[in-house]
Structure 1
Amino acid sequence: MSIPPPSGPQQPEDPYRPPQPQGPYAPHAPGPVQGPPPGPPYGGSPYPVWGQGYLPLTPPAPVNGVAIAALVLGVLCFLPAVGLILGVVALLQIRKRGERGKGMAIAGAALSSFGLALWVVMLATGGASAVWEGFKEGAAGTSFTLAKGECFDVPGDTFREDVYDVDKVSCSGEHDGEVFGTVPLRGSGYPGDDHVTDTAEDKCWDLQQSYTMDPWALTEDVDVYYLTPTRDSWSWGDREITCVFGNSDERGTLTGSLRHDETTLDADQLAFLEVMAAVDEVLYEEPEEYAEEDLSANRTWAADAGDVTAEQAEALRGRGWPVEAQKAVADLVKDMQAAGKEWAKAADASDVDTFYEHYDNAYAYVDGDSTVTAREALGLATTPPTYDEDPGSGGGTGDEGGLDV
């Protein structure tokens, strides 16, 4: 049995006294043995217990999701009013729930406030309208953009369907169309289908002549088309007519580029085509009334045709041509001089029969054998075009069409 400690008041322990060892081997003062020193009951731990282990770590507070959303909207400046509201809501939730994200909520609210103020200023000054117009123009340009000299295919089976998209391809192989020019349209409101069509027919004809200076390069299977804006596409910024060559057969294709201008022709070819273009221009001015209806007008025109033909013959004769083309060009000059004389005789005709006699003789030289030979020597097309339609119709088969974009 254990001996209880002596009764009576206990002396206070000296806080500066070193701790005294306990146990059966602890030293003690001399004197009679009083039994084991006071301690826990038998079977207890002889050492003091300093705790029951480590307390678990407290997990960090979660980040408020509304604060994240407010920051994202603020950075993107998207829906600034919503971003501002979310920032305020996030601050209230963070205070109530003890969550993290206060800095993100404040930053999102501040950025959204700035974006909201910016939108207010833009609306007041019309800047938002300009931004919207720019967006519409960009959206309109995403469908397709065709430039002069580019070739393309259309998704549909024929060239007569509405065109909403194209695939640009090389002009060296087969393709549905080749762009030879574009015509910008002015104004804020859609000018109407008739105005757009009339503009296309007028302007595309002029652009065709400058793109393909050699009319002989446009064979019978080539036709002129134009891609025009519609009322709907106009509202999205579509303001351009695109003039294109296509096959006269709606399901046919073209092969090779039809471009014949200063970018593809040499100096001799250009000089020759300029002479021929001057002659063609005066021939295109033939009066609509037959000689039987207005002999005087036809005689005046014949005199102009004779003068121009003679002048252009001299232009050919006075130029130095490559050796391989000199004889062919000289033969053409002789024929043109003979044609000029026939035009002059038609201009002096006193009656319709005499007029048509010299008229036919003069036309016999136009695009005759000597012209074909000279073209071949200069490396130009040798198949004469047809002239059985109105020159202002754009060439080809006379069945040109406008395609809505």
Structure 2
Amino acid sequence: MAIPPQPGPQQPEGQYPPGTPPGTPGAPGAHPPPYPHAPYPQGPYQQGPVQQGPYQQGPYQQGPYQQSPYAGPYQPWGQGYSPYNRPAPFNGFAIAALVLGILCFVPAVGLVLGIVALVQIRRRGERGKGMAVGGMVMSSIGVALLALMVATGGAGDFWGGVKEGAGGSGSTFSLHKGECFDAPGDALRGLAYDVDTVPCTGKHDAEVFAETTAHGDSYPGDSAVSAEAGDTCYALVDTYAMDAWAVPDDVDVYYFTPTRQSWRLGDREITCMFGNADERTALTGSLRKDATTLDADQLAYLKAARILNRAMDSAPEKAYVEDDLAGHKKWATRVSGALTAQAGLLRGHTFAPAAGERVAALVKNLDRSRTEWVKAAEARDADTFYAHYEKAVKLIDADKTVTTRKALGLATTPPKYDEGGGGGSGGEGGGGMEV
């Protein structure tokens, strides 16, 4: 007959009726096994067979974590197991190596990080070996390309382009004097983001004749920039197309100017160009007539003529002498001085015999005209001014220079002038584009 255990800390006195074993079904605190006749498996911490003492009447086996001899049959999680399967983490250096390898920004750093990642992955059991190897391969290619750029000088060109774009040393796109291009939509007004450079020998929308820089630290506004560009470009026409007679009447002046946004990046470039007054009509051939295309005699003649042309263009805004006699007298003084300078340049150059006689005859007319301009500058009233002015302009009429131009091989058809006194390149059809 089994003897019940004495009352103690794990079995309070009077817990079970006398003679009732703790493992008996129906007894208080009993844990009946689901399979009464099947032995319970042994857990990882149960070494060897279970020793049954005088107080272990049931089939329950005691494990090391069962504090009570009457604990139930449920096994704790054994060492080395977890309720979820957590994969090993990715190595951070492997990820960084792959990113730098793709960007090729600092290829040497990507290569070093890939090596560090492989060492850590092997030691820690982390994932990312493929990323580390891929980053090392792409970084190696980047290192090779960088070395090639340094050897060939390409790195310097690349960095110069980066500085120009970031620092704003030029406009959005750069055009240079003597280049011809086609504009988007064949339009020379509005906003332009890019153009296609084409040979000047064929058809093209525009030809660049000058590059200059806008003034000011802060953006002065669209109208102010456009006004400055117009004044500057018109003044530079005769530095590129020195023979104004060779510029077709339907050609006008256009220009690219900075926008407010590009100004903030340092863009101050103004690009002056020729274009057709009818923007749907293209230009053909270059209009360049300067030291790069003219011979010595032609260049000497046109340089002298440019002095007089600029003085004539400085006439007062008020067309009638009666409205500004003082201003017209000052203008007459400027013209007389220009005639003196022009005649001096022509006398100082030795022309070829075929043109020498015609130039000498022209110089005589210049001297006679200068005398009349001097008298006009001394006139006391408008009538006296008009009298000398009419004699002066007849002596330097364009028709009197045709034979001299023909002898020099220059254009012989005088340009048509509008009511404002400007030629074909100074009409109202021009305008600007912002870049």
Instruction: Please indicate the TM-score interval, normalised by the length of the shorter structure.
Output: 0.5 to 0.7
1:394/1:89 CA distance change after superposition, 3 Å: farther
What secondary structure is seen at the aligned counterpart in 2 of 1:156? helix
The Cα of 1:141 is off from its aligned counterpart by: 7.1
Deviation at 1:194, TM superposition (A): 2.8
Distance in structure 1 (CA, Å) of the matches to 2:330 and 2:169:
52
Aligned partner of 2:374 among 344, 347, 354: 344
What's the counterpart of residue 381 of structure 1?
Answer: 411
Deviation at 1:354, TM superposition (A): 3.4
Q: Normalising by structure 1, what TM-score?
A: 0.65
Consecutive unaligned residues in structure 2, runs of 5 or more:
1-89, 140-158
Assess if the C-alpha contact under 8 Å between 1:221 and 1:248 holds in 2: yes
Say yes or no: does 1:328 pair with 2:354: no
SS of 2:271 mapped into structure 1: strand
In structure 1, the residue matched to 2:98 is 72
Name the aligned partner's letter for residue 205 of structure 1.
Y
Q: CA contact under 8 A between 1:66 and 1:87: conserved in structure 2?
A: no
For residue 134 of structure 1, what is the amino acid of its counterpart?
K
Number of residue pairs matched by the alignment? 322
Q: Assess if the C-alpha contact under 8 Å between 1:94 and 1:102 holds in 2.
A: no
Equivalent pair of 1:137/1:237 in contact (CA under 8 Å): no
1:403 corresponds in structure 2 to 433
Superposed, which structure 2 residues align to 1:16-35 within 5 Å? none
Say if 2:183 is the partner of 1:154: yes
Residue 258 (1) aligns with residue 284 (2): no
Is residue 282–residue 305 contact of structure 1 (8 Å, CA) maintained in 2?
A: yes
Q: Is the 8 A contact 2:240 2:290 kept in 1?
A: yes
Q: Is the 8 A contact 2:205 2:276 kept in 1?
A: yes
Q: Mean alpha-carbon deviation: is it higher for 141-150 or for 177-186?
A: 141-150
For residues 258 and 137 of structure 1, do their structure 2 counterparts lie closer, same or farther at Cα, with a shift above 3 Å needed?
A: farther
| Alpha-carbon distance change, 80 to 136 in structure 1, aligned in 2, over 3 angstroms | farther
CA-based RMSD of the aligned residues comes to 4.3
- 1:5-404 matches, within 5 Å, as 69-75=95-101, 76-77=104-105, 94=122, 101=129, 104=132, 134=163, 136-137=165-166, 144-185=173-214, 190-235=219-264, 238-289=267-318, 290-388=320-418, 395-404=425-434
**Shift of residue 174, structure 1, vs aligned partner:** 1.5
**Pairwise CA distance, 1:248:** 0.9
3-state secondary structure, aligned to 2:426: coil
Report Cα offsets for 1:210-263 as digits up to 9, x if no partner: 222222233321111111122234455644221111111121111221122222
Contact 1:70-1:87 within 8 A present in 2 as well: no
Show structure 1 runs of 5+ residues with no match: 1-63, 112-129
Provide closer, same or farther for how the CA distance between residues 93 and 204 of structure 1 changes in structure 2, counting only shifts above 3 A.
same
Compared CA separation, residues 227 and 343, structure 1 to 2 (3 A): same
- Asked if the contact 1:222/1:248 (under 8 Å) is kept, the reply is yes
What amino acid maps onto 1:150 in structure 2? E
Classify the secondary structure of the residue corresponding to 1:364: helix
Q: Conserved in 1, the CA contact under 8 Å of 2:247 and 2:424? A: no
Q: Match of 1:295, as an amino acid?
A: L
* 1:312 CA drift (Å): 2.8
Instruction: Name the CA distance, whole Å, in 2 between partners of 1:347 and 1:131.
Output: 56
Distance 1:250 1:262 in 2: 29
Q: State the alpha-carbon separation in 1 of the partners of residues 340 and 168 from structure 2.
A: 55
Aligned-pair distance for 1:378?
0.9
Give the secondary-structure state (helix, strand or coil) at the position aligned to 1:403: strand
Change (3 A) 1:65 1:272: same
Whole-Å separation in 2 of the counterparts to 1:210 and 1:151:
17
CA contact (8 A) 1:152 1:169 kept: yes
Structure 1 residue matching 2:191: 3-state secondary structure? coil
The one-letter amino acid of 1:72's match is: L
Render the CA deviation track for 1:82-119: whole Å, top value 9, x for unaligned.
Answer: 999999987776556587949958x97xx9xxxxxxxx
